[in-house]
Structure 1
Amino acid sequence: MPDSAVSVPSSRLRKRALAAAGLVVVAGAGLALGDWSDSRGAAPPAAPPPVPVVTAQVERRDVPHWQDTIGTVTALNRATLRTQVDGVLTDVLFHEGQTVQRGQLLARIDDRAIRAGLDGAQARRARDAAQLSAAQSDLTRFRQLSGGQLIARQMLDQQAASVQQLQATAQDNQASIDAARVQLSYTRILSPIDGRVGLRKVDPGNVVRASDADGLVTVEQVDPISVVFALSQDQLPNLRQATAGGAVAVQALDRDAGRLLAEGELKVIDNRIDEATGTVRLRAVFANAGDRLWPGQLVSVRVRTGRDAGALTVASEAVQRGVEGSFVYKVGADSKVAAVPVKVGYQDSALAVIAAEAGALKPGDTVVRDGQSRLKPGAAVASARPRATVLR
């Protein structure tokens, strides 16, 4: 059969293709119209739920200024007991770690040689005193005889010189006796202060010498006790102003738990600033009847350097740092937050003092204390009950 008999004319093929394309266009338009009608009839998206936060109140209160640092507990007084004479240590009259009183006898050194020397000096004084008495009697008689020109003037002068010589000898004897008594007192080791003795460094029976560097034992005064610490030289004006106003409170706290160990007061500001560190050393004194502070112990120290009376305050956690400075999120009456710029005058772990020019905040305002990471200006919040800020 010829090919022309079974083939379809090209004109008919074109008509079929155009018809199919038209159907596709109509179907697409119908789908688009359906989508448009559905979007117009749908409800708008729901608003995001309020952000849960913890809030706090802006308050006006007196705020003490505290500076934190690290200090070392030191004995208020410390004495190393050393012998001032050479001899055998015969008696030790204390127990290691014992609390002793000033003037208490702690040890004795063999004093027999010194006592013998004292006895000899006293004997010489008695002998020379007898000679002086006889010479003074002779001088009295010579003066009587000289008045009647019964003896030469030369004999009277010689006798007067002998009396003066014996008087000088008597004074020398007394000085020797006094020196021997001082040496004898050195054989009794007394505590120079109230305190606690440490470990004994020499046992009885050993020869001790005045040149021994270690001494016999140390005594440290631990009640009251002191803490030595350093602060930046920038704090020196505040410290001087605080001391001019009266006693400066100092707290000693446990370094691990932050537990308050003792409360005392600042006693000494060093007379110079350390050039290497730019700090000034200070000493505070604490009552220590319960031995809560121990010499050599490291403690956290808080020094009260000033006070803001009637200051506008917020919780420290409420203050955020941004590119343009510090700000807080203030919660409005509609439960939405606004970012309020603030200038912080003083801040510690509990409170931040807001400068007076921050007019956007006033006592009684509510600010966000926790949960700021999910906030932005205008966000709605659901606040938990405000927590009270406790001053330390």
Structure 2
Amino acid sequence: MILLLFLAHGCAGKPPVPPPPPPPKVTVVQALRETITDYLELTGNSQAVNMVDLVARVPGYLEKVFFHDGEMVKQGQLLFLIQQNTYRENLAQAEASILQFRAQLSYAESQLKRYSDLVKQDAVSQSDTENWEFQRNSAEANLKAAEAQRNLAALNLQYTEVRAPFDGRIDRRLVDPGNLVGSGDNNVLARITQIDPMYVYFNISDSDLARLTSRGSWSPKRANELQRPVSAAFLNETGFPHQGRLDFASISLTPTTGTLLVRGIFPNKSGKILPGLYARVRVPLEKRSALLIPEEAIAQDQQGSYVLIVGEGNKVERRGITTGPGVKGLRVVESGIDGSEWIITEGLLRSIPGQQVTPERSRTAGKQTGQ
């Protein structure tokens, strides 16, 4: 009797079994269909549009330097001054010779006119007239030679002033004042580089060139195609912040590499792009319709990229996908979904394939593309 009472008391005190927890909540979105542009991403390097070694074109002692190493200079700005006194004297001497031969020419012409009148009166011989004609022609030739010497002397005097051929940045000077320049190997004074705009050279492989031409998106044979937009990034820059245009394509592929040399030109008013920088280049191919999903919806495992979708009965399904380029914070999906699926973006760790979830629909994908 006591045993029965004890068993009855134990059964009466057992708590009820709790109900199972509700399915975990997850946020789901549908893929967004948009028109996107496919790009060809390549690598290249920057080069200056113009780079010139400033040389001494006349010999002489370097008197003055009018710039600081590495500074920006303007076209026509005076940079170096070579000793001028000798060249000024040469110019003055040439101008004096012009005056001398001009006077001789004037005298010879007057004498020729006088003897031409006298020979008609048989007052002088024909040979006298011919002699003054010779004197006139000689004086005229001497005057032209003197004028040429004057022009050469003026040009040499002009060469004593070394000026910037274009706007750009000048490197350090290679010769200090007081040194003899313009003779022997001591001719290069400094180097000046035009940095705005800047060229970027890159090579397109034959396979990528086939993609460009087969889609009808580019033909280097047409001049207007060389104005197509191109973007670039340098150093640790993210994205492709520099916008330029194509302005040159080689007429043939390089046989050894099977690539076509192409050039883009980019504004560089800030001067941040330096010659010789490694560049990432992006060239537009064509526009097409594509499906895009948020980056956070994509997971990786040994089989590749996949997403978790909410299927029939709110059960989680794994769906393998092939991804494409990123666009406006989203990722292009090339295959694996058709756009009708509800894809889990939040709560992936709580989502197990085959188990039920409680989906909450969101339009996050559509909002992100408006950024």
In the alignment, what sits opposite 2:15? none
**8 Å contact 1:315–1:352 — kept in the other structure?**
no
Contact 1:54/1:386 (8 A) holds in 2: no
In structure 2, the residue matched to 1:23 is: none
Deviations 1:350-387 (A, max 9, x none): 533648xx8x714x533467999999986766779686
Aligned residue for 2:16? none
Matched, 1:285 2:265: yes
Are 1:74 and 2:52 an aligned pair?
A: no
Map 1:41-56 → 2, pairs under 5 A? none
Alignment-derived partner of residue 233 in structure 2 = 252
Residue in 1 that maps onto 2:283? 304
Query: Given residue 160 of structure 1, which amino acid in structure 2 is its aligned partner?
Result: E
2:307 maps to 1:334: no
Secondary structure in structure 1 of the residue aligned to 2:188:
coil
Residue by residue over 1:108-154, the C-alpha shift from the partner in whole angstroms, topping out at 9 and shown as x without a partner, is: 00122222222222222211111111110010011111222222222
What amino acid is aligned across from residue 282 of structure 1 in structure 2?
V
Whether the 8 Å contact between 1:103 and 1:191 is mirrored in structure 2 is: yes
Structure 1: distance between partners of 2:207 and 2:347: 35
- Counterpart for residue 218 of structure 2: 240
Gaps in structure 1 of 5+ consecutive residues: 1-46
**TM-superposed deviation, 1:98:** 1.5
1:189 is paired with a residue whose SS is strand
Q: Deviations over 1:299-336 (max 9, x none)?
A: 3x23232232443445688598999x998765434334
2:26·2:347 contact (CA, 8 Å) conserved in 1? yes
Q: Does 1:102 align with 2:75?
A: yes
Within the alignment, does 1:361 sit opposite 2:338 as a pair?
yes
Query: Is the alpha carbon distance of 1:210 and 1:168 closer, same or farther for their aligned partners in structure 2, counting shifts above 3 Å?
Result: same
Instruction: Give the counterpart letter for 2:342 in structure 1.
Output: T
Q: 2:109 aligns with which of 119, 124, 136?
A: 136
Residues 82 and 212, structure 1, Cα contact 8 Å, conserved in 2: no
Give the whole-Å Cα distance in 2 for the aligned partners of 1:180 and 1:245.
Answer: 46
Question: Within 2, Cα distance between the matches of 1:321 and 1:154?
Answer: 112
Report the TM-score when normalising by structure 2. 0.74
Q: Out of 144, 149, 154, which is 2:122 matched to?
A: 149
1:173 counterpart = 2:146: yes
Task: For residue 268 of structure 1, report the CA deviation from its aligned partner.
Answer: 2.3
Shift of 1:227: 2.6
Q: Deviations over 1:226-255 (max 9, x none)?
A: 333333233335273596395313132443
Distance 2:293 2:310 in 1: 13
The CA distance in 1 between the partners of 2:300 and 2:204, in whole Å, is: 27
Other structure's SS at 2:69 match: coil
1:288 Cα deviation after fit: 2.4
When residues 367 and 143 of structure 1 are mapped into structure 2, their CA distance, relative to the original with a 3 A threshold, is: same
| Residue pair 1:72, 1:297 contacting (<8 A) in 2 also | yes
Aligned AA (1:334): G
Q: TM-score when scaled to structure 1?
A: 0.71
Between Structure 1 and Structure 2, whose CA radius of gyration is higher? Answer: 1
Alignment partner of 1:230 is 2:203? yes
Q: Which moved more, 1:311-320 or 1:202-211?
A: 311-320
**Equivalents in 2 of 1:286, 1:381: separation in Å?**
52
Task: Determine if the alignment matches structure 1 residue 294 to structure 2 residue 269.
Answer: no
CA distance in 2, matches of 1:67, 1:211: 50
What SS does the corresponding residue of 2:42 show, helix, strand or coil?
Answer: strand
Change (3 A) 1:266 1:343: same
Q: Unaligned stretches of 5+ in structure 2?
A: 1-19
The sequence identity of aligned pairs, in percent, is 26
Q: Contact conserved, 1:314 with 1:354, CA < 8 A, in 2?
A: no
Aligned length: 337
Q: Whole-Å Cα distance in 2 between the matches of residues 240 and 78 of structure 1?
A: 31
Residues 61 and 83, structure 2, Cα contact 8 Å, conserved in 1: yes
Moved more, 242-251 or 262-271: 242-251
Q: What is the SS of the residue equivalent to 1:222?
A: strand
The question of whether the paired residues in 2 share the 8 Å contact of 1:270 and 1:280 is answered with yes
Task: Tell me the SS of whatever aligns to 1:216.
Answer: strand
Who is 1:275 aligned against? Answer: 255
Quick one: distance in 1 between partners of 2:151 and 2:165?
22
Q: 1:169-248 counterparts in 2 under 5 A?
A: 169-209=142-182, 211-212=184-185, 215-236=188-209, 238=212, 240-241=218-219, 244=225, 247-248=228-229
Call closer, same or farther: CA 1:251–1:333 in 2, change over 3 Å.
Answer: farther
Please list the CA deviations of residues 255-284 of structure 1 after superposition, one character each: whole Å capped at 9, or x if unmatched. Answer: 3x5265533233322333233333333332
1-structure distance, mates of 2:350, 2:207: 38
Q: Distance in 2 between matches of 1:271 and 1:375?
A: 57
Cross-structure match for 2:56: 83
Output the amino acid matched with 1:263. Answer: Q
Q: Does the alignment pair 1:60 with 2:36?
A: no
Question: Are 2:328 and 1:351 aligned?
Answer: no
Residues 8-23 of structure 1: pairs in structure 2 closer than 5 A: none
Q: Is the 8 A contact 2:231 2:241 kept in 1?
A: no
Cross-structure match for 1:24: none
Matching residue within 100, 107, 112 for 1:127? 100
Change (3 A) 1:87 1:53: farther
Question: Which amino acid in structure 2 is aligned with residue 89 of structure 1?
Answer: L
- For the structure 1 residues 270 and 93, does the alpha-carbon distance in structure 2 shift closer, same or farther, using more than 3 Å as the test? same
